[in-house]
């Protein structure tokens, strides 16, 4: 396994998972971190004037639906 570069670590930070260790929780955690990173990119694009607030909202809404779908597919119930 190769060590990630400083650039990759900066662009794609990864936090240690501290919840109940089950495969579906680990996968969802990775999906959640990816969601957060993408939302950050969208916010930065909107702040820089590269996309409109409406485009940012639509993209974040799409990403949210994708995250909810992954949660459902993994069989993770609310309140766990």
Average pLDDT, stretch 67-79? 90
Residue 21's alpha-carbon distances to 12, 16, 17, 38, in angstroms, are 22, 11, 8, 25
Asked if 33 contacts 15 with a C-beta cutoff of 8 angstroms, the reply is yes
pLDDT of residue 80: 47
pTM of the predicted model, to two decimals?
0.76
Per-residue pLDDT tens over the stretch 1-42: 556 677 777 766 666 778 788 999 999 999 999 999 999 999
* Per-residue pLDDT, 2: 58
Question: What does the pLDDT read at residue 51?
Answer: 98
pLDDT at 4: 65
């Amino acid at each position: 396994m190769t060590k990630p570069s400083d650039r990759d670590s900066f662009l794609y930070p990864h936090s240690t998972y501290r919840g109940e260790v089950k495969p579906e929780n680990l996968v969802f955690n990775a999906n959640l971190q990816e969601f957060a990173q993408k939302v950050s990119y969208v916010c930065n694009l909107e702040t820089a004037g590269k996309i409109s607030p409406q485009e940012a909202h639509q993209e974040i809404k799409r990403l949210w639906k994708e995250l909810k779908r992954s949660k459902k597919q993994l069989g993770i119930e609310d309140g766990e």
